Structure 1
Amino acid sequence: MAAASDPSHAHTIALPSKAIAPGRAIKFEAFDLPETNQKKLGLPHLPGTISPLALRLAEADPTSVELDAVVNTIKTLQAQDSFLTKKLAVHGTLLFRGLPIRDAHDFSKFAHAFGYRPHEIIGIVVDRPLLAPNKGPANESPKDVLVYNHNESPQVPYAPEYIFFYSHKAPKSGGESPISSSLELFHRAQKEMPEFIHELAEKGILSKVTYKVDQQYKGGSTLKQAFGKLVEPGDDEATRRLKVEAQISRYGRGKHTTWEWTDDGGLVLTHRLPAIRTQPQTGLPTLFTGLAAYYKNAKVNGAGRNITQQLYGDGTLIPEEYLAGLARITDDIRVLHKWHQGDVLVYDNVIAQHGREPWQGEQEDRVIMASLFDGNQVPGAYNDADWAQVVQALDDDAVGAAA
């Protein structure tokens, strides 16, 4: 099955001719980045498909453009058959550079212009305080901590479909955000480790996530941040647990999500999840996972920072050779986005992975904000009846198309 969208991009991305925008309409133009920051994607992407697709204002004086004009143009483009969403489905990631975005509130206005539904994070594992509507820090871990390539929220049943990152302040050295294709990762892994992909398709994964009353590491969340939105200071232990469990039940997972309270008041959640998903627009298989990240982060940062353990769905260990293989492939297919102040990266979380490289200097030298949104088909919960649909891309026709 070939991708339905054309990966080519015109030099100027203008409003469709039938679009009528109130107020001033602007145009974007595509431009090239250094090879270290942008690449041509491999199979199953169509030849010549690049990621990220880099866009900037096609204006004689870009500094004269106001944010309202940008927001208006984004809204109008999206009203024309989800123009930018379709670009994301092809390229995986879009870069916007040189926009009049100066702070969290500007970033919020821009991101909301795409028309997606704000994503409510249930079971958050990082500390992400609210800075503006649906906006918070991307990751507050210390600057020397590696956050390797992963899809957002692969350890829980409910994940966002779109992720926005905004660079409020960029470090001079390091701190890049990786970009890699989950479609390409699946394609390579299926060819190089077919037995591993077969096991993932057959068994799925068991994801065990530990939550504690106190922050487990700098930049991590607490149990209250994860599930305690209704917990009040005066609640007794029984009431607190009931309120936490009520939030867990919102996953709608039934027997596929179980939990155990620990002696210190914490919680261990176990989810049975698929690691192979289907890209809605093409029917192609995508490896929606953080397996390489958990492996690589533990190697670099130390195993003590990993609060998530992922096993095969039958509870058996995933051989290290497969995890190392995923990291090896990821290293080969990814690029590292070198941030410019004001940059915005937009990821289609179903098919594109992100992360964070360590940086030199001070912690405050890198300030990246994040915003998460749901699309029309959130890669989220499933039950027994839906399992076949989750891995439908592994049928003979789809596998043949991806080969």
Structure 2
Amino acid sequence: MAHDELFVETSIPEQKAVGGVLFPAVLYPSPTVDLDLGSFNAAVASQRPRLESLLRSSGAILLRGFPVRDAADFDRAVAAFGYDELPYVGGAAPRTNVVGRVFTANESPPDQKIPFHHEMAQVPEFPTKLFFFCEVEPGSGGETPIVLSHLVYERMKAKFPEFVARLEEYGLIYTRVLGEGDDPSSPIGRGWQSTFLTKDRSVAEERAAHLGVKLEWLEDGVKTVTGPIPAIRLDQTRGRKIWFNSMVAAYTGWEDARNDPVKAVTFGDGTPLPADIIHECLNILEEESVAIGWKKGDILLLDNLAVLHSRRSFDPPRRILASLCK
């Protein structure tokens, strides 16, 4: 069978139709083929133009039912897509490298929700593609809701035009206090040593400067200040503006023993953000989102410029792995 016949596009109840296109796109293996990992990876490599086109039109692809069983399989599957790896430098989430280019997804406690965000939108160098993989299905809950960023921008601009105009003019400043080591009890608990992949303060300063991050050393950690950086960007591939920021995530979720979320993000001129508009944005994100329950072996590919993602609370067990690409 030709490789182009191995991927069957289908529909599931959770999808949404946006402009006549299903979000996310869902691919299953052909029922007439007994696939192994090698033939799956070969099909991915040979069908990359088709998969790229599908990702460009939908913004997200769920691959379900393919022979990807564990972290090592996932690592090889990601490599088959041919994207360059993006090292996880500057991100806030506590993560552990599992194998190759594969990390755990955010390791914060299961009772905590992780708000909607574009991956690493709070730093100038961010991934353009994200892969998630379900190695162990959640006991219950634990979905990774996704939402198309341009829809959020359009709704926010229609409802709060002056606020959006200020965002476009001034951008945002993000502030976060990091300890030395990781704090697994916090959704933003990555310490400065793992954030900048060094124990040397001078090396951390060099890497922070490369990311446009200012460091202010404290007695027991460091305060990071990033920005002003854009909150609204142009998705040049699709010719539309996107809600590319971590505003809601920072304002509602960057909270732990070191951090006050209200102080975590401001307009680029330093003035506070209006709480009522932040929470209305959260409502819009929820209304426009799609949440599909994880099944073992699922791979979810996101265009990080097109799609925001979050995490719902869950009952263990749950093991979702991730890989970031340039």
TM-score range, shorter chain: over 0.9
Where does residue 354 of structure 1 map in the other structure?
Answer: 309
Match of 1:244 among 204, 208, 211: 204
* 8 Å CA contact retained: 2:175, 2:226: yes
Deviation at 1:307, TM superposition (A): 10
Where does residue 225 of structure 2 map in the other structure?
Answer: 269
Tell me the secondary structure at the aligned position of residue 180 of structure 1.
strand
Structure 2 matches for 1:173-184, cutoff 5 A? 173-184=140-151
Shift of the 148–106 alpha-carbon distance from structure 1 to 2, 3 Å rule, reads: same
Whole-Å Cα distance in 1 between the matches of residues 136 and 3 of structure 2? Answer: 29
Moved runs in structure 1, 4+ residues, more than 4 A?
A: 301-308
User: Structure 1, unaligned stretches of length 5 or more?
Assistant: 1-12, 16-25, 42-46, 232-239, 375-403
* Residue identity (%): 28
Where does residue 39 of structure 1 map in the other structure?
Answer: 16
Whole-Å Cα distance in 2 between the matches of residues 51 and 266 of structure 1? Answer: 40
Q: Count matched residues.
A: 323
Where does residue 327 of structure 1 map in the other structure?
Answer: 282
Structure 2 matches for 1:165-180, cutoff 5 A? 165-180=132-147
Whole-Å Cα distance in 2 between the matches of residues 58 and 153 of structure 1? Answer: 36
Bigger Rg, which one: 1
* 8 Å CA contact retained: 1:97, 1:343: yes
TM-score, normalised via structure 2 length: 0.93
1:212-247, Cα deviation, whole Å (9 max, x unpaired): 113345252111101143x3xxxxxxxx32121121
Whole-Å Cα distance in 2 between the matches of residues 166 and 305 of structure 1? Answer: 32
Deviation at 1:296, TM superposition (A): 3.9
Whole-Å Cα distance in 1 between the matches of residues 263 and 126 of structure 2? Answer: 16
Where does residue 55 of structure 1 map in the other structure?
Answer: 27
Match of 1:343 among 295, 298, 308: 298
Q: Give the letter for the 1:74 counterpart.
A: V
Tell me the secondary structure at the aligned position of residue 97 of structure 2.
coil
What is the root-mean-square deviation of aligned Cα atoms in Å?
2.2
Tell me the secondary structure at the aligned position of residue 113 of structure 1.
helix
Where does residue 241 of structure 2 map in the other structure?
Answer: 285
Whole-Å Cα distance in 1 between the matches of residues 220 and 264 of structure 2? Answer: 20
Shift of the 322–210 alpha-carbon distance from structure 1 to 2, 3 Å rule, reads: same
User: Structure 2, unaligned stretches of length 5 or more?
Assistant: none
1:270-303, Cα deviation, whole Å (9 max, x unpaired): 322101111121220001112222344369x999
User: Are 1:114 and 2:81 counterparts?
Assistant: yes
* 8 Å CA contact retained: 1:210, 1:308: no
